[in-house]
Structure formats: C-alpha cells, structure tokens
C-alpha cells in the first residue's frame, strides 16, 4: 500500500511540476537526456537571423529583415526553449517554441506560438543525421480566414555551424499546394 501511495504521490508531484520526491527517486528515476536531446542542445545560445519572407508567394521578391533567436536548454537537458524576435516593417514580431524528444513515441516534438497567429501549433518530427536536418510538421490556423494550415519546418545545420531554416505552408491561401513562405539563415554569436 505504501509503495502504491508513493507512486501516486510521485505522479501527482510530476503533474504539478513539483518534481521528484526524494523518497521515490530511487524507485522512479528522472529521465536523462539522450543523443536526440543533445542534437537539440547544440542549438543553445544566441543566433543572429537574416529572414527572407515571401508574402506574395514563393516566386515573388523576398522581403528581407533581421532577427535574433535565443535558445536555452532547460534544467535536466530534456527541453530547448526558444524566443525569436524580429521587426517586419513597422510590426514587431515575437515567437516562442519548446522542443524536445519524446523517447516513448520515438520522435521530436514541439510547440510554437507567435504574435501573428491566434493558435498554437503542435509539431512532431524526425532527424536525418546524414544531412543534419530536423524536419517538423504540424497543423495551424490561417489568421486571414481561419482555415486549416499545414506547416513543415526544415532546419539544416551546415558544416560551419550555421543553420538554415525553411518554413513551408499548405492551405487555402496557397491553393492547396506546399509553398515556401520563409527562409532564415542563422549565425551563432561567439
């Protein structure tokens, strides 16, 4: 009975964000970061971003602006928290993401919210070690008409340590076809 009580107490504490209880730590160890988590941890730091967005379609002239992304690995090493800031003309933009690796589902997971969208995007993805590419997919909502908007986010780490991020969307605004809407070149600050 005491063992069952400790199990429920540990689960309740975890659900409330309290953490492990000292008595239950030996029986229920805290998860440790895996090799997959270390791939995300490599993105920790401050990154300068050059953003090319295509508001009139992928074949139009790109609008170019600058931004900054700050990534922090949370204590325990299981999650990467990201804050992205930029100016698009006179409009300030802020986005926030949380990324991790779900070792039960065997896939990368994440969420994204930003100042231009009223909905949360839930992401899942995979990593290709050969090309150093992390690809997430998720469904969002088009802020223009409320329709479903499928998203694909592709981030490739280059040999020099820089990253290239490309955002594709598919929805009524793209004629049902996948369209590149943004590309970001990231350089990590020293």
For 67-118, write each residue's pLDDT tens digit.
999 999 999 999 999 999 999 888 999 999 999 999 999 999 999 999 988 8
CA distances from 53 to 66, 179, 181 (A): 11, 11, 6
Per DSSP, the residues of 7-68 read HHHHHHHHHTT----GGGTTTSPPP---HHHHHHHTT-EEEEEEEEE-TT-TTSPPEEEEEE
Beta-ladder partners of 19: none
Q: Which residues contact 160 (CB under 8 A, 6 or more apart)?
A: none
* Per-residue model confidence as pLDDT tens digits over 115-131: 988 889 999 999 999 99
Measured CA to CA, the distance from residue 94 to residue 34 in angstroms comes to: 30
Percent of the chain scored above 90 by pLDDT? Answer: 65
Quick one: pLDDT band at residue 27, thresholds 50, 70, 90?
confident
Average pLDDT over residues 138-156: 88
Residue 15 has a pLDDT of 57
Identify whether the C-beta of residue 154 lies closer than 8 Å to the C-beta of residue 165: yes
Gap between the Cα atoms of 84 and 62, Å rounded: 20
The pair phi, psi for residue 182, each rounded to 5°, is -160, 145
């Amino acid at each position: 009975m005491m063992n069952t009580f400790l199990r429920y107490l540990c689960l309740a504490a975890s659900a409330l964000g309290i953490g492990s209880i000292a008595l239950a730590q030996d029986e229920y160890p805290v998860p440790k970061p895996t090799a997959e988590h270390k791939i995300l941890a490599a993105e920790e730091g401050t990154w300068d971003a050059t953003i090319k967005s295509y508001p009139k379609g992928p074949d139009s002239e790109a609008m170019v602006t600058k931004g900054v992304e700050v990534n922090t690995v949370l204590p325990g090493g299981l999650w990467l928290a990201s804050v992205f800031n930029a100016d698009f003309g006179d409009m300030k933009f802020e986005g926030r993401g949380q990324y991790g690796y779900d070792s039960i589902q065997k896939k990368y997971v994440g969420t994204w919210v930003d100042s231009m969208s009223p909905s949360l995007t839930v992401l899942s993805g995979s990593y290709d070690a050969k090309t150093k590419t992390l690809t997430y997919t998720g469904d969002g909502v088009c802020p223009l008409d409320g329709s479903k908007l499928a998203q694909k986010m592709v981030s490739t780490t280059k040999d020099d340590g820089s990253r290239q991020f490309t955002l594709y969307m598919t929805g009524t605004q793209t004629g049902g076809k996948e369209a590149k809407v943004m590309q970001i070149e990231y350089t990590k600050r020293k």
